[in-house]
Structure 1
């Protein structure tokens, strides 16, 4: 047994933590953000105080053009269209790249975010905004906290962008990833608020959970990299060596 202790793939625990700490930080940040928002909703203080005033302001700003555009945004990011787009995108990605790892990680992250959102909605059981605030009254009947549209869209762009950047490590990819994430997540969150289907704390909670899901992907990806690197080193050893301590 190694005197330094075991870890994933035989690596020492300290080396494993040194590799995965960015992902653990993201998980912690996302989880803490969600808990803070949940506490505000349950205690009806802090950011919760902005929920009703912001919703009322959004309703007052509606126009036919903005309503049409944001209805399209919310439909594309919803539970009927987005999964189809993700499935087709992952299949095309795997075919073009010749590897299943990144597409599989993205698909897995989307499933994880959906499960987390569904469970937490049922546990928190926060009612939706009143029907009078909705563009189409009664169209949304599930619970409100967190926003499923927001966590789905945020997971897609955060995890997808990270996996592309992870493969290429290109500064331009990083810049595009950040810009696309801000635009897409902002547009989806705005659509949910503007159309009256969610409160501010709902969409912020969805963003926080997506950050936590990204953290899980970072941890898994970095552990996968470590194992793959170990296998390459073993394969590169000259014939007749056993890699033992001499």
Structure 2
């Protein structure tokens, strides 16, 4: 088995692993949604909201408003235009552009679909912080995870210096958490809405990135993925057949 086949086989296993993780997240989201609809998260939601209310202040109000704006539709839309310009004019990455639109745009449509599917009312209505419509899952949380998660992927994929990659991942991860926390602090969402938004966002982001990697792989690799996987797992299969007779024909 040559080096290209081995690399292709391992890459295919990673893609399958990503699909497995996405499937687990789907199950987790379904379980969470069922419990939320059965009102089994009431105590948890009230406890977190009470904790945040106890630590509120005018300064923190302003800070949280800034964070919530960084996950708003207008901010992510403007930022998306910038990312698309970089992908198109600087990186010449047509597949990256396509799947960025699919990830961010499709994620927004999925959020609306889920909101109208579960029809959960918000803890409070406030147009100034985009707290309109249904509550579950949190659109800010889902949208920010998809958008900033895709940016992390791009920074890692373009093989920036290690310290740049680490700083980007840490800073954007904290930003995603703070955007979700701001929605609870400002009374726009229940904590369970934010958790559900993160899970749904992770599912959609994973599926988008897996599809992108698959297409890029097909367009660049000389080795067919299924052929590479067969060659990679062939020795393991033969070893199992040798040691376990009931696997033989």
In which range does the TM-score fall when normalised by the shorter chain?
0.7 to 0.9
- What's 2:15 paired with? 20
Moved more, 188-197 or 154-163: 154-163
- What's 1:5 paired with? none
CA pair 178-227 structure 1, distance change in 2 beyond 3 A: same
Moved more, 66-75 or 99-108: 99-108
- What's 2:70 paired with? 76
CA pair 186-228 structure 1, distance change in 2 beyond 3 A: same
Q: Measure the CA separation in 2 of the matches of 1:41 and 1:204.
A: 11
CA pair 137-76 structure 1, distance change in 2 beyond 3 A: closer
Q: Measure the CA separation in 2 of the matches of 1:82 and 1:122.
A: 22
**Is this contact kept in 2: 1:128–1:198, CA < 8 A?**
yes
**Is this contact kept in 1: 2:72–2:130, CA < 8 A?**
no
Q: Secondary structure at the match of 1:115?
A: helix
Moved more, 63-72 or 120-129: 63-72
Q: Measure the CA separation in 1 of the matches of 2:161 and 2:108.
A: 30
**Do residues 41 (structure 1) and 32 (structure 2) align?**
no
Q: Measure the CA separation in 2 of the matches of 1:175 and 1:137.
A: 34
Deviations 1:140-181 (A, max 9, x none): 221000000011111112122123323328644552343133
5+ residue gaps, structure 1: 1-13, 235-246
- What's 1:244 paired with? none
**Is this contact kept in 2: 1:29–1:211, CA < 8 A?**
no
How far is the alpha carbon of 1:204 from its aligned partner?
Answer: 0.5
Q: Measure the CA separation in 2 of the matches of 1:113 and 1:170.
A: 30
- What's 1:125 paired with? 119
How far is the alpha carbon of 1:19 from its aligned partner?
Answer: 5.2
**Is this contact kept in 2: 1:154–1:184, CA < 8 A?**
no
- Give the TM-score, by structure 1 length: 0.77
Which of 189, 195, 203 is the equivalent residue of 2:194? 203
Q: Which has the higher helix share?
A: 2
Q: Measure the CA separation in 2 of the matches of 1:129 and 1:111.
A: 26
**Is this contact kept in 2: 1:150–1:189, CA < 8 A?**
yes
Which of 148, 155, 159 is the equivalent residue of 2:150? 159
Q: Measure the CA separation in 2 of the matches of 1:15 and 1:57.
A: 46
Q: Measure the CA separation in 2 of the matches of 1:179 and 1:17.
A: 28
How far is the alpha carbon of 1:226 from its aligned partner?
Answer: 2.6
Pairing of 1:170-189 with structure 2 (within 5 A): 171-172=162-163, 174-189=165-180
> How many residues align structurally?
216
- What's 2:61 paired with? 67
5+ residue gaps, structure 2: 1-8, 225-249
Deviations 1:84-141 (A, max 9, x none): 221222213321212222233222200111011100000100000045xx6x789622
**Is this contact kept in 2: 1:78–1:149, CA < 8 A?**
yes
**Is this contact kept in 2: 1:128–1:197, CA < 8 A?**
yes
Aligned-residue CA RMSD in angstroms? 2.7
- What's 2:183 paired with? 192
Q: Measure the CA separation in 2 of the matches of 1:170 and 1:216.
A: 26
**Do residues 112 (structure 1) and 103 (structure 2) align?**
no
